[in-house]
Structure 1
């Protein structure tokens, strides 16, 4: 099997809530997502999606996805997309760094691999573990009482895990964490996610002030060294996210005992091929995992569902359904939340079908 054509689409994904806010005054109203369609000489096709969280969250930006694909795609024509590890290594050889550029291509190759094998991607990633995957809801940064009210609303929809966007003024963040924890059940999970937003002294103030609460602390500071210092200052369960951007960084963090849990963002690592590798390294070590991505629609949500549902349930902290945040459907048969949980599709490949009118005409075609 050989790649015959690669088509690239640009899609805007507006938010149901109108705006998403996180640390440092950062916000996004509409997400700029890139969809990739790979067609083969045997009639099979695969889709992938990459959607950075704006240009100021990670070293990635929406137009950069398409610029990078323009560099890669012509050199992948004629290759076998079912050789996912070979394809991943070739992309690394052709373009140093920029993993978020490679992710949509990698996921599309997994979609083709699953279809060619007649198996859902979840089976190829290790097998479906459990009936469903528990989801978290990200709570955009606002006043404490507004955030608590939104948590109550989402709890009524079935969510039992909440990722609270903090990383602002430490006194206000302490109020936010207390206000939300006070109205949750003891079995509910609360993650205070600073998204690198606190200075070291502020992070230590916050973790001290909430030390008696049942709450996870996620990525308090920008640098790994600062986060490690906060980790040594608290007994609360500790999550790393933004700093975990490569296998080498994973190995360093494991050696330093720097975290109890890790957020695996598929596009930050370069796609399902490398995300699976990181997951399979961390699981035997007892590290809990949140399986997610930077953002996206139906295609990203499907890839998350397959990786999350194939992750051992004992290691699975939570996951997310980004397609429930946005107003624009990209694919039919995409996974949907049911009472705070979702399942990986059971059809071959990603198990979803691109809606042509949803993506419009391609902005680039390579053949």
Structure 2
């Protein structure tokens, strides 16, 4: 089997509400994502998606924010020419070709990688998780993410998410310390002691000392962990040693080498694992292996993916032992076929034909071949913008 062509397009799916975080503000381009089709000479088509956000990236420009336009340009101009004619089963070889063709751009490469797993699974008649280590868990518990908003509004949304079955609430913080503490207090009061609360600063606090002051005030409300409160591993390490709650690295944790630095500096207890940050599912499994060897547990996190990349999230979560924490990605929603009142619902619709099964706060990994999803071409035409 050989790759013949790679097509790119972009869609824009309507949001349920804006999702403000410390990095980038309220409208950061969620749902305006590139979709790719990798075609083969045997008629099998692999689907990929790049949930790239230009306002979001790694520490101090180490990994810069990609955009939909950069992803499509990189794929068309740099990746497609070296991949056409290649065997899609040569996954390690293809990653080497992509890395030689252009440095960086992991979201563009991740979209290709997803499509390759989709092709391989379809060719063999097995779900992608079978190619990633096999099924470790079928149900993936989710955390419902609440953007920066007034404390009372956040508490009201958390209450509905809990009614929907969610067991973990994630609160965006990092812009206003008083609002942040008030939000944690109000949400804890609303949901009670049996629901897990986590907070995510998105590098928003200006220094380790500033973050430590805020986080110590939150500790009485039993916050499981704080995710990336500041920029840089030196500052993260100071926080990890100064507060009782655990610390998760996200923007500081993209590659296996990053995990080694985190371990060496004792900068985090947990890592947020993505299919996209390392450059695809194949490399994400390598990151997970280093985490497991170092005693670091993970969730699978992301950028409010649409259905294709959300399928990749599910297959990674389902096949990876070290993913023990509630995962932060959408409950994929099709208009008129909503699975929840609002839990996990970033969008009002999607471009796949079937939603994933949702059960008591968890998504069920699909068992269909490859990623287990199909495009609704009518929806693609409706929402296509490029």
Q: State the TM bucket, normalised to the shorter chain.
A: over 0.9
CA contact (8 A) 1:191 1:217 kept: yes
1:145-179 deviation per Cα after TM superposition (whole angstroms, max 9, x unaligned): 11111101111111111110011111221111121
What secondary structure is seen at the aligned counterpart in 2 of 1:250? helix
CA contact (8 A) 1:333 1:351 kept: no
Partner of 1:20: 19
Distance 1:97 1:131, change over 3 A: closer
Matched, 1:123 2:130: yes
Partner of 2:337: none
Distance 1:352 1:66, change over 3 A: same
CA contact (8 A) 1:47 1:107 kept: yes
Matched, 1:38 2:38: yes
Structure with higher strand content: 1
Q: How much has 1:74 moved relative to structure 2?
A: 2.0
Partner of 2:335: none
Matched, 1:353 2:361: no
Q: How much has 1:292 moved relative to structure 2?
A: 2.5
Partner of 2:7: 7
Q: How much has 1:335 moved relative to structure 2?
A: 2.0
What secondary structure is seen at the aligned counterpart in 1 of 2:226? strand
CA contact (8 A) 1:128 1:309 kept: yes
Q: Identify which range, 149-158 or 287-296, moves more after superposition.
A: 287-296
Partner of 2:354: 333
Partner of 2:215: 207
Q: How much has 1:182 moved relative to structure 2?
A: 2.4
In 2, the alpha carbon distance for the partners of 1:234 and 1:157 equals 32
Q: Identify which range, 300-309 or 170-179, moves more after superposition.
A: 170-179
1:89-135 deviation per Cα after TM superposition (whole angstroms, max 9, x unaligned): 11111010111111111100011111122211111111222340100
CA contact (8 A) 1:334 1:345 kept: no
Q: Identify which range, 176-185 or 72-81, moves more after superposition.
A: 176-185
Q: How much has 1:185 moved relative to structure 2?
A: 3.9
Partner of 1:64: 70
Partner of 1:197: 204
| 1:261-300 equivalences in 2 (<5 Å) | 261-300=270-309
Matched, 1:51 2:51: yes
Matched, 1:100 2:107: yes
CA contact (8 A) 2:4 2:84 kept: yes
Specify every segment of 5 or more residues in structure 2 that has no aligned partner in the other structure, as ranges.
58-64, 333-344
Specify every segment of 5 or more residues in structure 1 that has no aligned partner in the other structure, as ranges.
none
- With normalisation by structure 2, the TM-score equals 0.89
Aligned residues: 361
- With normalisation by structure 1, the TM-score equals 0.93
In 1, the alpha carbon distance for the partners of 2:381 and 2:86 equals 26
Distance 1:303 1:81, change over 3 A: same
Q: Identify which range, 107-116 or 285-294, moves more after superposition.
A: 285-294
Matched, 1:147 2:154: yes
| 1:80-95 equivalences in 2 (<5 Å) | 80-95=87-102
What secondary structure is seen at the aligned counterpart in 1 of 2:31? strand
